[in-house]
């Protein structure tokens, strides 16, 4: 199943941009994900292809019109549904030609469903149901629609994982003074922010969001555990990293990391991750303190308040 990213932007030439290189670029070439752009100006109704107008009540700047943006969003929803249907059909065909069986394991007997004429649920040759990554009917035809805006909820790693596990995402890039609020009243759109600062438009935020999602797609990072211990995966920050040379400008790699004692290394990493989180991100530490903690070693345990 190809993860499809649709971006509604007044500047389609900004995509894929940096996502056309490195891991994301390789994944794009391998069709692990697809990048499509939609320019809202295509849905404008005047000869100037206007998408904005002056703010109601007065004020500086311009506001993106609800009618124009809604028309672009509706088009994106329809196109996403068609792409998911097509990708799902291709995945079914591919599995049917490989290890999907349309009969259950009945020890050589003809399956009851086949005798009764009822459709048989597809199964892999080992009896398992095809997973979401196989691209069959367990995926919805719809994908979340996100609007990049400083008025949105902060983007989190947990939300990124949810998006990456689905069929794709539609991202609306804000510009000017933002969107006519009626757009969000009339359509199911999630407002998202990547931080407490202002950019010239939502395109950079969209690139950030997509990069975070793409690296989590199957086969993109290589080993499935590559990102397990990274910052935010377990609420707290990641532990410090070191590599060769062992001594650099008089600074030496901590002895415990050179000891070969995996239990001590795991304990040191957990301690440093917690210490750095307390000092640098007290907001994360507060969320972490009373919740079950996943240590860098992967062991689940109750966190104890050391303060």
Q: How many helices (H) and strands (E) does the chain have?
A: 8, 13
The full DSSP string for 14-67 is GSSGGGGSHHHHHHHHTTSEEEEEE-GGGG--STT---EEPPTT--SS-EE-HH
Closest Cα partner for 75 from 128, 6, 122?
A: 6
Question: What range defines the domain where residue 157 resides?
Answer: 3-214
The residue count of the chain comes to: 307
Note whether 197 and 276 are same-domain residues.
Answer: no
Q: How confident is the model at residue 91 (pLDDT cuts 50, 70, 90)?
A: confident
Share of the chain above pLDDT 70, in %: 76
Domain assignment of residue 34, yes or no: yes
Note whether 259 and 205 are same-domain residues.
Answer: no
Q: What is the mean pLDDT of the chain?
A: 83
Domain assignment of residue 209, yes or no: yes
Note whether 197 and 262 are same-domain residues.
Answer: no
Q: Using CA atoms, how far apart are residues 172 and 214, in angstroms rounded to an integer? A: 18
Domain assignment of residue 307, yes or no: no
**Domain end (from 214, 232, 258):** 214
Number of domains comprising the chain? 2
Domain assignment of residue 94, yes or no: yes
Which residues, at least 6 apart from 135, have a Cβ–Cβ distance to it below 8 Å? 1, 87, 88, 90, 91, 92
Note whether 110 and 166 are same-domain residues.
Answer: yes
Note whether 126 and 259 are same-domain residues.
Answer: no
Question: For residue 85, what is the domain's CATH number?
Answer: 3.40.1280.10
Tokens 């950079």 map to which residue?
204
Packing angle between helix 203-214 and helix 157-164, nearest 10 degrees?
A: 70
Asked if residue 62 lies in contact with residue 179, where contact means CB atoms within 8 angstroms, the answer is no
Where do the DSSP E strands lie in 155-255?
A: 168-173, 190-193, 247-248, 251-252
Note whether 174 and 26 are same-domain residues.
Answer: yes
Lowest mean pLDDT among 57-66, 122-131, 238-247, 266-275: 122-131
Asked if residue 151 lies in contact with residue 181, where contact means CB atoms within 8 angstroms, the answer is no
Closest Cα partner for 83 from 12, 163, 6, 160?
A: 6
pLDDT in tens, 160-199: 999 999 999 999 999 999 999 999 999 999 999 999 999 9
Note whether 108 and 204 are same-domain residues.
Answer: yes
With 0-12 CB in 10 A as exposed, 13-18 as middle and 19+ as buried, what is 298? exposed
Domain assignment of residue 110, yes or no: yes
Domain assignment of residue 220, yes or no: no
Q: How confident is the model at residue 86 (pLDDT cuts 50, 70, 90)?
A: confident
pLDDT in tens, 30-72: 999 999 999 999 999 999 999 999 999 999 999 999 999 999 9
Q: Please give the angle made by the CA atoms of 167, 168 and 169, to the nearest 5 degrees.
A: 145
Note whether 11 and 98 are same-domain residues.
Answer: yes
Note whether 14 and 124 are same-domain residues.
Answer: yes
Tokens 């599995």 map to which residue?
95
Q: Using CA atoms, how far apart are residues 249 and 147, in angstroms rounded to an integer? A: 47
Note whether 51 and 155 are same-domain residues.
Answer: yes
**Domain end (from 195, 214, 233):** 214
**Domain end (from 214, 234, 260):** 214
pLDDT in tens, 118-148: 433 433 333 434 344 444 445 566 799 999 9
Note whether 134 and 90 are same-domain residues.
Answer: yes
Note whether 128 and 63 are same-domain residues.
Answer: yes
Domain assignment of residue 227, yes or no: no
Distance of CA 59 to the CA centre of its chain: 36
Phi, psi of 33 (to 5 degrees): -145, 160
Domain assignment of residue 242, yes or no: no
């Amino acid at each position: 199943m190809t993860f499809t990213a649709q971006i509604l932007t007044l500047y389609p030439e900004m995509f894929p941009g940096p996502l056309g290189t490195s891991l994301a670029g390789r994944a794009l070439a391998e069709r692990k994900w697809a990048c499509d752009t939609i320019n809202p100006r295509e849905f404008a109704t005047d000869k100037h292809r206007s998408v904005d107008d002056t703010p109601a009540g007065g004020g500086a700047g311009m506001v993106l019109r609800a009618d124009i943006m809604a028309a672009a969003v509706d088009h994106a929803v329809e196109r996403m549904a068609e792409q998911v249907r097509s990708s799902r059909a291709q995945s079914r065909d591919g599995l049917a030609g490989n290890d999907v069986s349309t009969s259950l394991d009945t020890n050589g007997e003809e399956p009851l469903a086949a005798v009764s004429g009822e459709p048989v649920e597809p199964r892999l040759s080992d009896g398992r149901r095809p997973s979401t990554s196989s691209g069959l009917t367990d995926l919805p035809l719809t994908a979340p629609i996100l609007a990049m805006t400083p008025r949105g909820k902060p983007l989190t790693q947990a939300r990124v994982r949810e998006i990456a596990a689905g069929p794709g995402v539609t991202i609306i890039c804000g510009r000017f003074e933002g969107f006519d609020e009626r757009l969000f009243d009339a359509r199911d759109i999630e407002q998202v922010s990547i931080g407490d600062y202002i950019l010239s438009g939502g395109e950079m935020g969209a690139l950030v969001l997509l990069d975070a999602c793409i690296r989590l797609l199957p086969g993109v990072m290589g080993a499935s555990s590559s990102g397990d211990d990274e910052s935010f995966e377990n609420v707290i920050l990641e532990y410090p990293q070191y590599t060769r040379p062992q001594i650099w400008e008089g600074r030496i790699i901590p002895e415990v990391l050179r000891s070969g004692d995996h239990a001590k290394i795991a304990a040191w990493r957990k301690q440093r991750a917690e210490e750095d989180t307390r000092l640098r991100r007290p907001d994360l530490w507060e969320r972490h303190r009373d919740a079950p903690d996943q240590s860098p070693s992967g062991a689940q345990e109750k966190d104890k308040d050391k303060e």
